[in-house]
Amino acid sequence: MRQARRRSSNGLHMIRTDAQDVSDRRAATRRAQALRLGVAAYSEALSIQRRVHAAVAGGEMPDTLLLLEHPHVYTVGRRGREEDILLDEAGLARLGAEVHHTDRGGEATYHGPGQLVGYPIVNLRRMGMGPLKYVRALERALTGALEEMGVEAQSEGRPTGVWVAERKIAAIGVKVSRRVTTHGFALNVSTDLSYFDHVVACGMPGAEATSVSRELGRAVAVDEAAAIVAEKFGEVMGVVVEVRETGRGGGQAYRATG
């Protein structure tokens, strides 16, 4: 085992071993948690984000990645337009879908069953990142996760998000307040892609959506994708992620454990 000498503050030489160095590095490793919330309504998930944001910004909670699915919902970001939703109220009712205007960046998009939604609530100062670097890191985490699942995806030189050739497989839209993030990404795993026919997704008319299941030609579970995404998120962000299962009750489960 290698030994290294260093001089202490009192002038005495102290001997350190490789094992001690590794132990110190592990102690200094930044940690985060991933909370699996199951299925949560959009308004409920937004409320959870705000609570966690306040706790992370106040130093009361570690950086946190919320992983969940939403019931059918179209969301309109700060740059979105009402006409990006191509359905009237009757059409939305037939699909069992809601519309929510929200404070994230970006335009309109769809969320629903079979889609892994990730809301990272992280302190960018602690991460050593600005907003643009953070978005690029999210893209790398998602492309890395997709590669592990067998899907070749790209983000460089493309509009924000993750793409498989000309087909969009993941959308990203974030907000930063007090140097802490909210909102995040949506990865189509086994999503019913027909719901994208009723929205000008991300302000790109005619853009085609795809999913992991479609690209692989087999059914892929959201739970399978979530485990891989959490791991890749930790690798890219330089944190050790502890995954916590909070059940399938969404906000209620979080309140019971939070």
Inter-residue contact 176 to 206 (CB < 8 Å): no
Name the catalytic one among 202, 236, 241, 253. 202
What one-letter code names the amino acid at 202?
A: C
Task: Tell me the β-bridge partners of 115.
Answer: 188
- The answer to whether the CB of 17 falls within 8 A of the CB of 2 is yes
Residue with tokens 């795809």, as numbered in its chain:
210
Residue 125 is among the residues annotated as catalytic for this protein: no
Sequence-distant (≥ 6) Cβ neighbours of residue 182 within 8 angstroms? 49, 50, 53, 104, 119, 121, 174, 175, 176
Residues carrying an active site annotation: 202
